[in-house]
Amino acid sequence: MFIGAFSYLGENVKVGSNTKIYSGVFLGDDVQVGNNTTLHAGAKIMQGCVVGSQVTIHAGTVVGSDGFGFAPQADGTFAKVPQIGNVVIEDNVEIGANATIDRATIGSTIIKKAPN
């Protein structure tokens, strides 16, 4: 495993073998990262997210950020709905630079491997 300068790994983070974590990566609490995965500079993986094996996440990507859930109220305003889910990125996936993948309201946002 390689961990670059100024990276942060939260509590209960699990990282597989041969994984590369480049400079400035953030892994929130309870994040799981599989084997042979590469997280490029500045990638952010938020609390409770799961990243599979042989995954590449390019620079600046944010995985597990808060979604945009709002519910209309009786007075015509909107109230924020808590986004309590996570993101699961399955094995053999590549995510481009500066992408944002929001966590689910409930359950998981799942990024699957493309079919052959």
Domain ranges for the chain, please list them: 2-111
Mean pLDDT by 10 residues, the chain (116 residues): 95 98 98 98 98 98 92 94 95 97 95 83
Cα–Cα separations (whole angstroms), residue 68 to 2, 13, 79, 102: 34, 26, 11, 8
What the block records as the tokens of 54 is 């042989």
Between 3.40.50.360, 3.10.180.10, 3.10.20.440, 2.160.10.10, what CATH number should domain 2-111 receive? 2.160.10.10
